[in-house]
Amino acid sequence: MTSCCPGREAEAALCRVEDIPDGGSLTAAVAARPVILLRRGDAVWGYLNRCPHFSVTLNAARGTVLTYEGQVLMCAHHSALFRFEDGLCIEGPCQGAALDAQPLRVEEGCVYAGDPQAR
């Protein structure tokens, strides 16, 4: 985690918004759980990095989670496609299932893990 915002040392940010490639992904950890951060412009989404059909991470070992045209992320194992907006699998062996959302909040250009109860 990164402490990137002045005056916010008590709570470490996951990253800065610009650390996530626009239209791409960044992996991080929240409470020791692997998460995927996705960005399109100013919009940022977070999901647990765990496929709903096989309970494995979606990236190749130590690799970036693949994305396509800033719209979907792709499972490195089966090329299944999951939408940025809601984590829904639109193509692949788990079509119709969705990734578990990781609530986030963005303050002063930094991305923080949100309260899961606040959804």
Give the footprint of ligand FES on this chain (CB under 6 A): 51, 53-54, 56, 75, 77-78, 80, 92-94
- What minimum distance in Å lies between the beta carbon of 76 and ligand FES? 8
- For ligand FES, give the closer residue by CB, 37 or 80: 80
- What minimum distance in Å lies between the beta carbon of 65 and ligand FES? 12
- For ligand FES, give the closer residue by CB, 54 or 64: 54
3-class secondary structure, 77? coil
Which residues share a beta bridge with 38? 25, 45
Q: Which of 44, 96, 51 is nearest to 74 (CA)?
A: 51
- What minimum distance in Å lies between the beta carbon of 63 and ligand FES? 14
Q: How many helices (H) and strands (E) does the chain have?
A: 0, 10
Q: CA-CA distance, 3 to 61, in Å (whole number)? A: 26
